[in-house]
Structures are given as structure tokens and as C-alpha cells.
Structure 1
Amino acid sequence: MYNKLQYISQGNTIKKQLYAIHSALDNGCDWIQMRFKNPNVLEVLTLAEAVKKLTQDYTSTFIINDNVQLAKQLDADGVHLGLTDMGIIEARSILGPSKIIGGTANTFEDILRRAAEDCDYIGLGPFQYTTTKQNLSPILGLEGYCDIIEKMRTYCIKIPIYAIGGIDFENIENLMETGIYGIAVSSLITKNKNPSELITQLNEKLYVSI
């Protein structure tokens, strides 16, 4: 199955992005989602090529945020698509059946849509307020996750759910108890002064049986 810990990259320059991604990989994070909101196509390609090489060196999973064509061009492991990005069915026709395609969700209706599209995993959030992403969807909190996961059980939807959005270390156990599969984090890792210890502790919490 998939890694339970996803790192979503941060940084407004190639240098900052690469430093953060390299640090996450070097300290034990095996799943990188490259998220680089830069209108300069050449810079995005340059970063993606460098990240592809890094993740190959670390035998880690490389997911590209939003950009299906870039994921195909570089033969990335997959792509993550927001609710207003290309549809998952169309992305699948471009990338093929073997690639990982994840999708964003905020409501149970979004979950139903993602299930119908047959996506591989769902990033459900935001858990709480975060400055990492603009135009934030309504915050779910623990109650929101419990409600949506319970409805998924009722409808027998078994797609892995990753909690995302403003997650702190102290939230992990309560989130895992809701029935989610894992977490996707950005600032939690990027801004930590001891990422090796943090990632080790995160994995310990994520892989403990609930």
C-alpha cells in the first residue's frame, strides 16, 4: 500500500523547494508531492526534473500537483488533482492505469465524486486553518472527518483517506482514530528544526494499529 506520510513541498523558488524536498527525503519521508505554484513553465520543469532525480535516488514516490502533462512528460509516479483541476478520468486516459492519481475532497459529495472517478487516494481537508493554501475550503475538524468516514463505511467506499490542512503533531492520534489512512503535511515538516526526529515520530504514530 501507499506511504501513510505525504510531504507536500513548499517554497517560492527552486532553491527553497529543493532544500525542503531534499531535507524531507534525507530525514525519512518517502512520498513527495511537488506543489510549485509558479507561472514560469521553465522553472516548474527544471524543479520537477531535479525532484524526479532526487526521488529516484531515494527510491521514493514522486507525485506532481495539478500538472498531468508534466507528470506524463517526466514519467512521475502520479499526480494529485484538485476539485477544479482536470478530471481524474481524463487524467487516467493520459497517464495510464499504472500511475497513482489522487484527488482533493472537502465534503462527502466530493468523496462520492472521487469514488465514481475511481481515484487511488483522497486528500480530505482542511482539518483546520492553514496559511499554506489560498481560497481555503470549509474547515472539517475531527467531527467532520468522523462524519465523512462513517458515511464512507455505510456506502462501502474504501479509498485511502489522507487528512490535510493545518495538521500539528498533537493532532495525529485523534485523526488516526477517525479511520483515515494517513496524513499529508507541508509546514509541519518544512518549518521543523529537527525534521529527522519529527518524521520518525510521525511514522511511529501513523503505523501504530488503532
Structure 2
Amino acid sequence: MYHKLQYISQGKTIKEQLYNIHQALDAGCDLVQMRFKNQTAKDTFALAEAVKFLCEEYLANFIVNDNLYLAQQVAADGVHLGLSDMKIDEARTILGPAKIIGGTANTYEDIGDHVKNGCDYIGLGPFRFTDTKEKLSPILGLSGYYEILQKLKSNKIEIPVYAIGGITLKDINPLMETGIHGIAVSGIITNSDQKKKLIQQLNEKLYANVIV
């Protein structure tokens, strides 16, 4: 149902963001989460409109980070909410049943709450230290993912879980073995000078055990 690779956008200006997103889309990424922190409402709206247009052109899904009303304004495919953002059930009431709502989680309890409140997918992390985020929750590591995913399984809770936080190519196989659905990454794609090759490699690993 959901693509397994999610690109979380990077860039301090509209120009940088658009360049990075365009590059990721062009290299084969089909799920973009626009993350543009501490900017003016005007700039954020301008970027969101442009990203919406780009994603439509590439037939990619477009998720807005944190800003539910912006997601609504530009008719994005959905919104991703952090632990300190608007509550999932409140967001669902506003956005309606058709939009995608993702939620950040650091514990099994976080996921349980999100599922109960109508969340569509989980961004679970951080996997390891990342400087993309200012306030970092406790690091999970492989054992943390394994433990949480096992608990979800034994309690018959089914929801796509994305690992997030400093993930590299060599982490994917062991991460997928924990039972996650996919990964959400930013730096690894932004900083790659061979994005097409990288996204192909990421997808090969992410979809390796999928029966078509």
C-alpha cells in the first residue's frame, strides 16, 4: 500500500529544497515528506505549492511535515505529525478519512496511541544519532526496533512502520529483518552524488523479500 522509501526534504532555502526534492524524484523516489522548519508562512506555502506540482508531475505522494493546515491548503496527500504536534485524532477529524496521516513514535506505547487514534503509518526512531533533528528521542538501535516490532506482532497491531534516523545502505537488511515496512531518510539521498544508483540500491534491498 505504501512505498517503502520516504525522502524527508532538506535545504535552508526554497531553492535548495526544490533542488533536492526534484533530484530525489528524478532519481526514482516516489514518497516525499516536505520538512522546512523555522521559515515564514509565506515561504513555506510557496515551497509546498511548488512541491505539490512536482510530485504530481512525477506521480509521487506528497506529505507535509507538522503543518496540517498547510497540507490542507495545498491539497497534499497527507501530513506527518511529531510527538509534540497536533494529536492524530484531531488531525483525522480535520483532514477526513482519505488523507494519509503519519505519526512519529519512539516507544511501543506511542505506536499504540497513534493506531487507536487513526494513524496510517509510523515513523519510528531514531535508529542512531542524526544531526537533522534538534530534539532527539532516545536512540533505538536494531534491538529497539526488534523489541517494539515483536510486541506489535504479538498484540496483533498492524501498521506500516518506517525506521528513521541516520540510516545507511548497509543498515537496511538487518533493519528489514526486524519487521519494519520501510525507511525514511534525508541526508543519505541529499548528499549522494549518484542518487539514481543509490535509490535503486535502497529499493532493491527494501523490496528484496516482497512477493509480487
Both structures adopt the same fold (TM-score exceeding 0.5): yes
Q: CA deviation at 1:112?
A: 1.1
* Distance in 2 separating the partners of 1:152 and 1:111: 9
Tell me the equivalent position of 1:55: 55
Tell me the equivalent position of 1:30: 30
The residue identity in structure 2 corresponding to 1:31 is: L
Percent identity for Structure 1 against Structure 2:
62
Per the alignment, in what secondary structure is the counterpart of residue 11 of structure 1? coil
Tell me the equivalent position of 1:94: 94
Q: Deviations over 1:51-87 (max 9, x none)?
A: 0000010010000000000111111000000011001
Q: Deviations over 1:166-210 (max 9, x none)?
A: 101110000000000000000010001100000001000000117
* Distance in 1 separating the partners of 2:47 and 2:112: 34
Q: CA deviation at 1:39?
A: 3.1
- Contact 1:63-1:79 within 8 A present in 2 as well: yes
Tell me the equivalent position of 2:152: 152
The residue identity in structure 2 corresponding to 1:84 is: S
Q: Deviations over 1:145-170 (max 9, x none)?
A: 00000000111110000000010111
* Distance in 2 separating the partners of 1:141 and 1:30: 26
Tell me the equivalent position of 2:170: 170
Q: Deviations over 1:93-123 (max 9, x none)?
A: 1111000000000011111111111200000
Tell me the equivalent position of 2:107: 107
The residue identity in structure 2 corresponding to 1:112 is: G
* Distance in 2 separating the partners of 1:34 and 1:129: 21
The residue identity in structure 1 corresponding to 2:78 is: G
- Contact 1:38-1:44 within 8 A present in 2 as well: no
Per the alignment, in what secondary structure is the counterpart of residue 92 of structure 2? helix
**CA RMSD in angstroms, aligned pairs only:** 0.8
Per the alignment, in what secondary structure is the counterpart of residue 2 of structure 2? coil
Which aligned pairs between 1:61-80 and structure 2 lie closer than 5 A?
A: 61-80=61-80
Tell me the equivalent position of 1:196: 196
Structure 1-normalised TM-score?
0.99
Per the alignment, in what secondary structure is the counterpart of residue 33 of structure 1? strand
Per the alignment, in what secondary structure is the counterpart of residue 52 of structure 1? helix
Structure 2-normalised TM-score?
0.98
Runs of 4+ in structure 1 off by over 4 angstroms are none
- Contact 2:92-2:118 within 8 A present in 1 as well: no
Which aligned pairs between 1:5-44 and structure 2 lie closer than 5 A?
A: 5-44=5-44
